[in-house]
Amino acid sequence: MQIEYEDKWRGWIKGCLSSAMALVLSNGSPTNEFIMEKEGLNIAMKTICEKGVFQRVKIPHTNDLVSYLFYANDAFFVGEWSKNNIRNLARINRCFMYHWD
Please say if the pLDDT value at position 81 is more than 80. yes
Whether the CB-CB separation of 16 and 82 falls below 8 Å is answered with no
Predicted confidence (pLDDT) per residue in 10-33, tens digit: 777 777 666 655 555 555 554 555
CA angle 64, 65, 67 (to 5 degrees): 140
Q: Is the pLDDT of residue 1 over 50?
A: no
Phi, psi torsion values for 92, nearest 5 degrees: -60, -45
**Digit-coded pLDDT (tens) for 33-80:** 545 556 777 888 889 899 999 999 888 888 888 888 777 667 788 888
Cβ proximity of 28 and 90 under 8 Å: no
